[in-house]
Amino acid sequence: MKLSNEIIDILNNFQTINSNIALGEEGGFIRTMSTSKTLMAKANVEPETPYVWPYTFGIYDLGEFLACIGMFNDPTLSFDDDKKFVDITDGVTNFKYYFSEIDSLTVPTNDINLECNDIVFTLTHEQLTQLRKASATLKANQLSVRMSYTGNSFIECVILDKQNPTSNQFRMNISNCSINTTAEFDFVFDINNFKFKTANEYVFGIDKKQVALVKAGDTNYWVALDKTTIYKEK
């Protein structure tokens, strides 16, 4: 079999989340989860994509696996009938790459079933890039999502250090949002968990149970909120 560019792109993104991965799950999707379990991702692969894993197998070091594939211009993958390894070859040279026991890897086993619609907002690629740059500039990793002081129909994203009340801050008003709660809220993210693939826009849906669903194209990311999050029903 050969891997499509779509699959390679997904795996390249997922290796930034966790080097462990289980491939070949039923259902036409690929999943991963960070070792801290604060970020989970699931990519839905297009039905017409020519990829069919013969069985489920574990990879311990996804970056190394992708580097082996990248050694060839147009590699073919041939899977061992005993489910122990895969041959990656260009017809002349090859890697014999052994699988890892899935039980020894940090991989997701269930999806997160939350509506995540208490607060819904959209960031463009340019807006998310600006927030990341502000985080790097201020050396502050927390992103606070709260009601904007400009009015109740807006929210704001604030880069800050919540442990330091006099820390420098960067604010961005977000008008493309839907506020579906009357509660007082201050949802806090660790921006280091924003390991999303490149997309034109990112749709955030936040649940009061301190989990957010972020949609980037056909890939979903579930992000756990920081423990400093505030949500108070009125």
For every one of its 234 residues, what pLDDT tens digit does the chain have, with 9 covering 90 and above? 888 888 999 999 999 999 999 999 877 789 999 999 999 999 988 654 556 788 999 999 999 999 999 999 999 999 999 999 999 999 999 999 999 999 999 999 998 999 899 999 999 999 999 999 999 999 999 999 999 876 667 899 999 999 998 999 999 999 999 999 999 999 999 999 999 999 999 999 999 999 999 999 999 999 999 999 999 997
Going 125 to 129 to 135 to 138, the CA torsion angle's sign is negative
Which residue in this structure is represented by tokens 């506020």? 179
CA distance 162 to 230: 12
Is 15 domain-assigned? yes
CB-CB contact of 41 with 68 (8 Å)? no
Residue 186 to residues 6, 88, 164, 229, Cα–Cα distance (Å): 36, 49, 16, 6
Q: Do 72 and 39 lie in a common domain?
A: yes
Question: Of 48, 69, 104, at which residue does a domain stop?
Answer: 104
Residue 148 has what pLDDT? 84
Residue 122 has what pLDDT? 97
Residues 6+ apart with CB under 8 A from 139: none
Q: Do 90 and 166 lie in a common domain?
A: no
Q: Do 92 and 125 lie in a common domain?
A: no
Q: Do 223 and 123 lie in a common domain?
A: yes
Is 79 domain-assigned? yes
Enclosing domain of residue 51: 5-104
Q: Which residues pair with 86 in a beta bridge?
A: 79, 97
Q: Do 30 and 86 lie in a common domain?
A: yes
Q: Do 127 and 228 lie in a common domain?
A: yes
Is 109 domain-assigned? no
Q: Do 133 and 41 lie in a common domain?
A: no
CB-CB contact of 32 with 18 (8 Å)? yes
Look up the CATH number of the domain holding residue 137: 3.70.10.10
Question: Of 104, 134, 168, at which residue does a domain stop?
Answer: 104
Residue 48 has what pLDDT? 47
Number of domains present in the structure of the chain: 2
Is 112 domain-assigned? no
Q: What three-state secondary structure class fits 99?
A: coil
Going 125 to 189 to 221 to 24, the CA torsion angle's sign is positive
Is 205 domain-assigned? yes
The total of other beta-carbon atoms located within 10 Å of residue 135's CB is 19
Q: Do 137 and 76 lie in a common domain?
A: no
Residue 185 has what pLDDT? 95
Q: Do 85 and 137 lie in a common domain?
A: no
CA distance 68 to 97: 9
Q: Do 92 and 132 lie in a common domain?
A: no
Residue 25 has what pLDDT? 86
Q: Do 34 and 82 lie in a common domain?
A: yes
CB-CB contact of 230 with 56 (8 Å)? no
Query: At 94, phi and psi to the nearest 5?
Result: -155, 155
Q: Which two tokens stand for residue 39?
A: 């970020």
The total of other beta-carbon atoms located within 10 Å of residue 59's CB is 24
Is 113 domain-assigned? no
CA distance 148 to 168: 18
Query: At 157, phi and psi to the nearest 5?
Result: -105, 125
Question: Of 72, 104, 136, at which residue does a domain stop?
Answer: 104
Is 181 domain-assigned? yes
Q: Do 97 and 16 lie in a common domain?
A: yes
Q: Which two tokens stand for residue 150?
A: 């400009």
Q: Which residues pair with 195 in a beta bridge?
A: none
Is 62 domain-assigned? yes
